[in-house]
Structure 1
């Protein structure tokens, strides 16, 4: 039971890890689905080994009815034997098996006879009557011949049959079988709930991807030309503790931001936004010589204008196989008093650069 639940749990973790990895590209999700897949396989393999090792392949049984099938070959009759099987440590059950018995031995197969049977496994009812068995099983058979209580009466033992092409199987005694597709529904529910829980850190990315697809914008999650630059900058600002930055670099799937180590500090750190989350990456490699001259306040800016500026620049440049990069910083030329959007485009046969203000006025290009 526990193994079955754990198998479904790891299946859900695997599914959630795959979805998270596909949507966010986060290496953590790659580790998640890799680990869960390994755990799922180990549970299946070692669970099967454990069941195989603990299952006793022999048991005792009592003959309830004997019917000749009419087939006879080489002096042996084929019998349909109804048995009450009593495996050690498991629930007893009734089943039917075929046995070939020489004619002169038919008298030994009468109702009430105690026999030894070989079983295919704990998950199947099929048995074969065998002449001898291990000492422990032989001892139980001898006990059953003198003590009728060793094997319960047939009237109190349920049937357990293997399904055939014409008749349905019956559940293993001692187990509960939910009606219809209830078991499948429960299994799927466990898997989906665990998968959803696994993707909780990626829900923002999943939501943005879904919004983009719903809007028919397949490039919507691109952080240069897409739709969610503002959300990314807001996430970084939460880590920085404010909207004072010196530079924001926009790439397809991530941002690189330079900002004060703490609000009001004289040193700067590099911050990252990727995989739908932001974090401090460490001290900026080159510290600014005049921090106040480079700082700008991004609190009132619409960073969605970065995508609009990139589209304007791409349309004007008209370069084949163009790669685009965007950044926001103070205008180094001093032509604009405040931050500007810089767009750099490179293609197969040239490159162009553009500078816009946040009203999308072109300041300069070359």
Structure 2
């Protein structure tokens, strides 16, 4: 189970890294910040569990059942080795044991157990300890306090030399429950390694997919952008801008806007709550998602300021930027486009001097030493510097 948790956390960590790269970085950092310590903690505990693979999982109930059934014996400690692992600052030791049960043939085995530093003298080679044999025939044993064996029983138990005994290995990661061996849900042997690897991979991929799923559109756009050598899509380009328009129009619920701001990383549309209403909200498209940001900071004076997405040739915006950059011999850089109705110049119009004329696009191309502003009709038909 710990390994499943570790791989799930690893998948979430990878998903967080992907979101950092192509989605909202703050969300990605939050996910990664939780997944990384969980992955480390679960991995460490899993490694500790592996080092305890030959330790015997003997519950007090299992020991008591062995006592009640008189499955008792004497174990001689032939060798004590420290593994280098410590549990709660106490050494995990490997013990070579020769065991003579009260009933049944003697056997040799090797087990791991935590031996407190203060108790190491009682586990020196040659020392004999009373044990409970947890299952008939062994090899699982648990050390018990002296006194369970009568003096007569203890006196007639003689542990043979280890070399003359059959060696019974412990099955790793086993617990004794109700007189039976119980192993982990996932096997630990070589035979099951391909299946475990497949399961762990599926868990990791599923965890990463869950993290990335809300930003699948951004991921898809980034994959396309990689073909052009970019990590994120440039929303000023026709395909990406068309997707932004579709998503914004769907979220807004109609096709009327008061203004559109287009940058490489995001598109902002200020749109009325309903067609013809002057109450205007701000909507932002970023990382493949639309965010409704509430009331716009500046509210239009009249519904005449509204125009339709169809009034704008979005597929011409990138061409206009390139044309402007060519005119001033500068790169497009991080130039942004701003679309809004032009000022009404008809002195006889009731909206004279107000933004009620045909929609237009403005942008600037330049560098730290200066810039040139450009304006063009929203259909991209002509570009002029101003």
Write out aligned runs for 1:24-103 (5 A).
24-45=23-44, 97=96
Aligned with residue 266 of structure 1, among 261, 278, 301: 278
Unmatched 5+ residue regions in structure 1? 65-78, 81-94, 100-110, 122-126, 149-153, 161-169
1:198 is aligned to 2:198: no
Cα displacement (A) at 1:143:
4.9
Residue range with higher mean Cα deviation, 319-328 or 258-267: 319-328
1:343 is aligned to 2:349: no
Q: How many residues align?
A: 306
Aligned with residue 380 of structure 2, among 346, 360, 365: 360
Provide the residue aligned with 2:161 in structure 1.
none
Deviations 1:234-284 (A, max 9, x none): 212222111211111112211222111344432111111122211211211
Asked whether the 8 Å contact 2:344–2:357 carries over to 1, the reply is no
- Shift in alpha-carbon separation, 1:32–1:217, aligned structure 2, 3 A: same
Write out aligned runs for 1:186-335 (5 A).
186-214=199-227, 216=228, 218=230, 221-225=233-237, 227-290=239-302, 292-299=303-310, 301-319=312-330, 322-332=333-343
- Shift in alpha-carbon separation, 1:248–1:134, aligned structure 2, 3 A: farther
Cα displacement (A) at 1:331:
2.2
Distance 1:42 1:21 in 2: 23
- Shift in alpha-carbon separation, 1:202–1:220, aligned structure 2, 3 A: closer
- Shift in alpha-carbon separation, 1:295–1:140, aligned structure 2, 3 A: farther
TM-score (ref. length: structure 2): 0.64
- Shift in alpha-carbon separation, 1:172–1:225, aligned structure 2, 3 A: same
Provide the residue aligned with 2:144 in structure 1.
138
Distance 1:134 1:307 in 2: 85
Asked whether the 8 Å contact 1:10–1:36 carries over to 2, the reply is yes
Asked whether the 8 Å contact 2:272–2:279 carries over to 1, the reply is yes
TM-score (ref. length: structure 1): 0.67
Deviations 1:64-107 (A, max 9, x none): 9xxxxxxxxxxxxxx89xxxxxxxxxxxxxx99499xxxxxxxx
- Shift in alpha-carbon separation, 1:310–1:333, aligned structure 2, 3 A: farther
Asked whether the 8 Å contact 2:22–2:231 carries over to 1, the reply is no
Q: Secondary structure of the residue that 1:199 maps to in structure 2?
A: helix
Aligned with residue 198 of structure 2, among 185, 188, 195: 185
- Shift in alpha-carbon separation, 1:98–1:116, aligned structure 2, 3 A: closer
Q: Secondary structure of the residue that 1:265 maps to in structure 2?
A: coil
Asked whether the 8 Å contact 2:97–2:109 carries over to 1, the reply is no
Distance 1:63 1:134 in 2: 6
- Shift in alpha-carbon separation, 1:158–1:317, aligned structure 2, 3 A: farther
- Shift in alpha-carbon separation, 1:113–1:348, aligned structure 2, 3 A: same
- Shift in alpha-carbon separation, 1:187–1:220, aligned structure 2, 3 A: closer
- Shift in alpha-carbon separation, 1:128–1:346, aligned structure 2, 3 A: farther
Q: Secondary structure of the residue that 1:289 maps to in structure 2?
A: coil
Distance 2:246 2:311 in 1: 11
- Shift in alpha-carbon separation, 1:134–1:114, aligned structure 2, 3 A: same
Q: Secondary structure of the residue that 1:5 maps to in structure 2?
A: helix
Cα displacement (A) at 1:25:
3.6
Cα displacement (A) at 1:301:
4.1
Asked whether the 8 Å contact 1:325–1:344 carries over to 2, the reply is yes
1:159 is aligned to 2:151: no
Root mean square deviation, CA, Å: 4.5
